[in-house]
């Protein structure tokens, strides 16, 4: 496995792969790899010749009071895991490499960014879109892989690919969970012991709500959201609900009914971590 820190060097590698007729699968990450990331790699290995992973904790997508500084890191373990799982090339640029002082043109997301995570993280998806557009142009993947835990990110990136006519396919991969149901996230290590014990309630509640919805238990979208809100308020002693929202996916608009491609998403604040999770009515088309 090659480690590459420099953009120009990465572009040379990509140019060589293209010249050799290889297809490229891209797995963008912020590192501190877990099984969720490794599932993206596994999916990529089935579909492309060469898997390129990036590890970059993108400062542009963190707000001032967010956890940029405490975002967990373990590069040595990441290198080992990536190698072990068959990643061919690992792109690890510095922030100065990705955002030199001269950088002046940013992406802004005008729709779908002021709801869900966007409302408590203003500018977050602008930062995501900007870095992903840069990474796509460096890596030039045929397919890029994103986890469905960040469903809103998947929806926005798909929109960006359409808006800018990019020659690549976005493949969303289902959320990987701990045995107790908690969605895998690099941030989980920053939960306290008590918070970690409580956190699986989030998924349990979402899954129960989905089952009830499929059985026709809720008359309205608001009725479903309210049920989840009451259940989480009852079960979470440490977590504070940020939002509970049901939307059509990937349009991210209010659904008329609780059928079809519907997503139920939530975010919960803990002391040092904000967790997100979601369930979908239909499996996202792969």
Q: How far apart are CA 286 and CA 277, in angstroms?
A: 19
Q: How far is CA 26 from CA 59, 129, 197, in A?
A: 20, 15, 34
Q: How far apart are CA 116 and CA 156, in angstroms?
A: 12
Q: According to the annotation, is 147 in a ligand binding site?
A: yes
Out of 55, 92, 133, 265, point to the residue binding a copy of itself (CB under 8 A): 133
Question: What is the gyration radius of the CA atoms in the chain, in angstroms?
Answer: 19
- For residue 248, the cross-strand partners are 262
Place of tokens 């895998």: 184
Out of 50, 160, 275, 276, point to the residue binding a copy of itself (CB under 8 A): 160
19 exposed, middle or buried (CB, 10 Å; 0-12, 13-18, 19+)? exposed
User: Using the rule CB under 8 A, is 12 a contact of a copy of itself?
Assistant: no
Which member of 3, 37, 124, 201 is catalytic? 37
Q: How far apart are CA 17 and CA 24, in angstroms?
A: 8
Q: How far apart are CA 31 and CA 191, in angstroms?
A: 18
User: Using the rule CB under 8 A, is 11 a contact of a copy of itself?
Assistant: yes
Q: Which stretch binds a copy of itself (CB under 8 A): 52-60, 160-168, 175-183, 258-266?
A: 160-168
Using CB under 8 A as the binding rule, the residues of this chain from 168 to 227 that contact a copy of itself are: none
Please confirm, yes or no, whether 37 is among the known catalytic residues.
Answer: yes
User: Using the rule CB under 8 A, is 109 a contact of a copy of itself?
Assistant: yes
Closer by beta carbon to a copy of itself, 80 or else 111:
111
Out of 46, 65, 102, 215, point to the residue binding a copy of itself (CB under 8 A): 102
Q: Which residues bind a copy of itself (CB under 8 A)?
A: 7, 11, 102-112, 129, 133-134, 137-138, 140, 156, 159-160, 162-167
Q: Give the residue numbers annotated as catalytic, written as ranges.
A: 37
Residue set of the binding site for (R)-pantoate: 61, 153
């Amino acid at each position: 496995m090659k480690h590459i820190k420099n953009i120009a060097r990465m572009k040379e590698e990509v140019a060589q792969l293209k010249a050799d007729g290889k297809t490229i699968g891209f797995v963008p990450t912020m590192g501190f790899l877990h099984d969720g990331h490794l599932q993206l790699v596994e999916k990529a290995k089935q579909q492309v010749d060469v898997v390129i992973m990036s590890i970059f904790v993108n400062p542009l997508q963190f707000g001032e009071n967010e956890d940029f500084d405490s975002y967990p890191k373990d590069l040595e373990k990441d290198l080992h895991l990536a190698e072990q799982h068959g990643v061919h090339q690992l792109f690890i640029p510095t922030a100065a490499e990705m955002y030199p002082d001269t950088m002046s043109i940013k992406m802004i997301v005008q729709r779908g960014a002021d709801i869900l995570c966007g409302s408590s993280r203003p500018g977050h998806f602008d930062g995501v879109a900007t870095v992903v557009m840069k990474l796509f142009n460096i890596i030039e993947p045929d397919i890029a892989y994103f986890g469905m835990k960040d469903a809103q990110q998947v929806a926005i990136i798909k929109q960006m690919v359409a808006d800018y006519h990019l020659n690549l396919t976005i493949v969303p991969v289902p959320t990987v969970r701990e045995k107790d149901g908690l969605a895998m996230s690099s941030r989980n290590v920053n939960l306290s012991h008590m918070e970690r014990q409580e956190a699986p309630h989030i998924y349990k509640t979402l899954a129960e709500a989905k089952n009830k919805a499929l059985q026709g238990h809720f008359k309205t979208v608001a009725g479903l959201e309210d049920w989840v809100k009451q259940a989480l308020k009852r079960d979470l002693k440490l977590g504070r609900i940020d939002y509970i929202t049901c939307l059509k996916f990937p349009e991210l608009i209010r659904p008329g009914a609780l059928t079809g491609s519907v997503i139920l998403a939530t975010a919960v604040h803990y002391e040092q971590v904000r967790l997100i999770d979601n369930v979908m009515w239909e499996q996202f088309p792969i």
